[in-house]
Structure 1
Amino acid sequence: MLRKKGSLATWLVLDSEGKRKVVEARKQIIMRRTGLSARDLRVLDPLLSYPSTIVGRESAMLINLDHIKAIITATQVLLLNSTDPSVFPFVNNLHQRILILHRATHQLHPQEDSDEAKQLDDMNILPFEFVALEACLEAACSALENEVEILEQQTYPALDKLTSKISTLNLEHIRLFKIRLVALASRVRRIRDELEHLLDDNENMAELCLTEKLAQQQLENSTTSSMDDMENEVLQPDINSASDGVDVENAGTIYSPETKHSSDVEELETLLGAYFVQIGGTLNKLSRLRESVDDTEDYINIALDEKQNRLLQMGVKLSTSKVLLHAFICVTAIFSMNIHIELFDTGMPQFLATCFGGTAACIFLYVVAISWYKHKGLLVD
């Protein structure tokens, strides 16, 4: 969580040696320390809603990946919400990675003939900012993947239960799961889009190579200092000084920033590509889950439509029977009128024959009507 005192904010700082400390600093101090602008720091504000961001600046990298909010430089990592329980595993993982990197870079002695030295020599050691970025990506992607697995474990049984029994309670459960599914898919898609944006632009990836930019800047400063010394020596008519000047001018060709720059970009592209595939797999799981929910909804709609059709058919049958019953009632009403007719003098057998005959006629007409409905396709079995 972000804790503020006026304009103070609490940051957890991990340096390249694995040392960590908690500091309270104002926004202006963080801006001077990292070279970021106030607009950049606004991206890390938990009170504001910003999309997933991995952006490089002159001397720092800004990370906003779901619950991971950090600033990475070539020598340290600054975490904003380090007291959040969901960030604790990430902090421990990042600390272990930094310690391993520190041992690999400071205990690697080529003259040693030990197996550990040979393994470290063969190992491709990533720059500090790449190690921190990988930890951020792993934490964000793993957290989202765990949420997807939990959602799958809860949603699939609920879908099966709804399929076996359609009820208001089961429908409400699916509705809540679908809301979580849509929100989770949006979070996963934002990270995938940000990684895709980086992979499509080499210039943006080059901005993330902070160690290389720092080394190149130091090289330029060293070259500038050497050239200044050379200009002072050239003023003396000394042949040795002239020959030394040639060496100084050609010294820049010994180190090739372009070659190292290309190598760092390729390593970063490989790193981002791996997590792009992982987050893509997570998004595919959500897509399959969404398809299952949609298929279940289609099945439920079909089942409800089928029930509605049965109710309509029942209404047609009841309406037909009601019409025939009313016709029989009309006949009964005629016989109940206070008018003397010869039928009343025939006796009980004729009266009963008339009643049963009218009933049979109604039943016959009902069967004929239902058969006609089915013939016309108004009713189906």
Structure 2
Amino acid sequence: MPTDVCLPQATFSIRKKSQKKFNLMEESRYPFLPLDIRESASSRNTNRSNLDGSGSRGSGSCESSLTAELKKRGHGSRSWIKIDKNGNSKILKLDKATIMTHCCVPARDLRLLDPLFIYPSTILGREKAIVVSLEQIRCIITADEVILMNSLDECVVQYKSELCKRLQTNMDQAEDLPFEFRALELALELVCMSLDSQVKELEMEIYPVLDELATSISTLNLERVRRLKGQLLALTQRVQKIRDEIEHLMDDDGDMAEMYLTQKKQRSEAYLLSDVCAPTNTLGGTREVSNSSPVSPVGAFTRAPFLQRAVSSIMNSSKYQSSMGSSPGGENIEELEMLLEAYFVIVDNTLSKLSTV
């Protein structure tokens, strides 16, 4: 009789140990996945094994469930912070398709902002947006707003609060830089400050270890030096990439001209307005519109898409580029180049510090 009573407890203990061992195996197989995905996959695999009576089909179910979870996360909605010109911020849930349509950016640019992937720092100028991926600051800057990847990282929180503060403080004051360059400048400023502070912290940690190694060579000290050397090389590569990216932008006038989003938007709106206000006949002369003649509402609505297609084709044509120039005025490009050069000097100085460590 006592044996029958203890039997369920022994069975429960065996099942608990088996489940614990299975969880450890799953964690060793997929250490890079978040905990919630591993738990969901493990539960599905356990249920399938219990139904089948064996674990032969459990591995296939686990693989398919993991793939489904990753696909769902890659194409689902994410949390973004939208900051407008007035410094007002709002948290939104947006998917990739919505962002691609709203900002006119390709899917490959959004992959640079995906936190599931690790890409080097990049600054890309597109038709209606600037794609910024600098360390933890990952955002899309347009002529009217900044769409920032929501994160609890200190650098991201500081960027959001500081940008809103600057925009609200200087709302009634005339600014020399357009909105997109003010947002880009703040991203460069915070990243440079973060990298410089990391270099200082690494210096404070390296020098005492080297002094201790000079007095006592031991396995522990050698291991600490090896670990710090790996951190030094990784930090050097990150700083070098940002330096190369800024230098690449300064060397290409076309890339810098592509980043003038406000001017491109104003030129496009002015061209549309001039075409609507001054219609021309087939001979090229100005056509006088009679005040007494009625205006067809159908023609007014059908003309707008035609104008948009016409302006888009003209803006992309080589004739328009040659007449308007491939870039804004030389003074404006020089202004952006000076802005980039200032932060290039800062990053280059940080890189020099790393080379002397």
Residue 339 of structure 2 corresponds to: 271
Query: Does structure 1 conserve the Cα–Cα contact (< 8 Å) formed by 2:85 and 2:179?
Result: yes
Residue 91 of structure 1 corresponds to: 160
Query: Does structure 2 conserve the Cα–Cα contact (< 8 Å) formed by 1:55 and 1:62?
Result: yes
Query: Does structure 1 conserve the Cα–Cα contact (< 8 Å) formed by 2:137 and 2:155?
Result: no
Q: What letter is aligned with 1:225?
A: V
CA distance in 1, matches of 2:142, 2:193: 23
Counterpart of 1:11 (choices 66, 70, 80) is 80
1:261 and 2:312 are equivalent in the alignment: no
CA distance in 2, matches of 1:193, 1:5: 29
Residue 377 of structure 1 corresponds to: none
CA distance in 2, matches of 1:161, 1:8: 51
Aligned with 2:177: secondary structure? coil
Residue 57 of structure 1 corresponds to: 126
Aligned with 2:113: secondary structure? coil
Q: Gaps spanning 5+ residues in structure 2: where? A: 1-71, 291-322
Q: What letter is aligned with 1:214?
A: K
Query: Does structure 1 conserve the Cα–Cα contact (< 8 Å) formed by 2:279 and 2:286?
Result: no
Aligned with 1:48: secondary structure? coil
Residue 76 of structure 1 corresponds to: 145
Following superposition, the deviation at residue 168 of structure 1 comes to: 1.4
Q: Write the deviation string for residues 48-73 of structure 1: whole angstroms up to 9, x where unpaired.
A: 12221111111000000111100000
- Which piece of structure 1 moves more, 3-12 or 67-76? 3-12
Aligned with 1:104: secondary structure? coil
CA distance in 1, matches of 2:287, 2:240: 63
Alpha-carbon spacing, 1:205–1:234, altered in 2? closer, same or farther (3 Å):
closer
1:202 and 2:271 are equivalent in the alignment: no
CA distance in 1, matches of 2:204, 2:354: 12
Q: Write the deviation string for residues 352-372 of structure 1: whole angstroms up to 9, x where unpaired.
A: xxxxxxxxxxxxxxxxxxxxx
Q: What letter is aligned with 2:265?
A: L
CA distance in 2, matches of 1:236, 1:212: 31
Q: Write the deviation string for residues 149-195 of structure 1: whole angstroms up to 9, x where unpaired.
A: 00000001111111122121111111111010000001101100100
Query: Does structure 1 conserve the Cα–Cα contact (< 8 Å) formed by 2:100 and 2:106?
Result: yes
Counterpart of 1:187 (choices 233, 238, 241) is 238
CA distance in 2, matches of 1:234, 1:189: 57
Q: Which has the larger radius of gyration?
A: 1
Following superposition, the deviation at residue 45 of structure 1 comes to: 0.8
Residue 165 of structure 1 corresponds to: 216
CA distance in 2, matches of 1:18, 1:84: 20
Task: Describe how 1:16-165 pairs up with structure 2 within 5 A.
Answer: 16-105=85-174, 125-165=176-216
Task: Describe how 1:324-343 pairs up with structure 2 within 5 A.
Answer: none
Q: What TM-score does the superposition give when structure 2 sets the normalisation length?
A: 0.66
Query: Does structure 2 conserve the Cα–Cα contact (< 8 Å) formed by 1:212 and 1:261?
Result: no
Following superposition, the deviation at residue 286 of structure 1 comes to: 0.4
Following superposition, the deviation at residue 214 of structure 1 comes to: 0.8
Aligned with 1:10: secondary structure? strand
Aligned with 1:102: secondary structure? coil
Residue 211 of structure 1 corresponds to: 262
Query: Does structure 2 conserve the Cα–Cα contact (< 8 Å) formed by 1:101 and 1:125?
Result: no
- Which piece of structure 1 moves more, 7-16 or 217-226? 217-226
Residue 227 of structure 1 corresponds to: 278
Q: What TM-score does the superposition give when structure 1 sets the normalisation length?
A: 0.62
Q: What letter is aligned with 1:82?
A: S
Q: Gaps spanning 5+ residues in structure 1: where? A: 106-123, 239-255, 290-381
Query: Does structure 1 conserve the Cα–Cα contact (< 8 Å) formed by 2:155 and 2:190?
Result: no
Q: What letter is aligned with 1:287?
A: S
Aligned with 2:173: secondary structure? helix
Residue 43 of structure 2 corresponds to: none
- Which piece of structure 1 moves more, 165-174 or 18-27? 165-174
Q: What letter is aligned with 2:352?
A: N
Q: Write the deviation string for residues 233-270 of structure 1: whole angstroms up to 9, x where unpaired.
A: 845599xxxxxxxxxxxxxxxxx976953332111101
CA distance in 1, matches of 2:185, 2:287: 52
Q: What letter is aligned with 1:199?
A: M
Alignment length, in residue pairs?
Answer: 252
Query: Does structure 1 conserve the Cα–Cα contact (< 8 Å) formed by 2:143 and 2:261?
Result: yes
Residue 225 of structure 2 corresponds to: 174
Q: What letter is aligned with 1:42?
A: R
Alpha-carbon spacing, 1:83–1:103, altered in 2? closer, same or farther (3 Å):
farther
CA distance in 1, matches of 2:288, 2:140: 50
Query: Does structure 1 conserve the Cα–Cα contact (< 8 Å) formed by 2:143 and 2:180?
Result: yes
Aligned with 2:203: secondary structure? helix
Query: Does structure 2 conserve the Cα–Cα contact (< 8 Å) formed by 1:98 and 1:131?
Result: no
Alpha-carbon spacing, 1:276–1:125, altered in 2? closer, same or farther (3 Å):
same
Aligned alpha-carbon RMSD (Å): 2.5
Q: What letter is aligned with 1:89?
A: Q
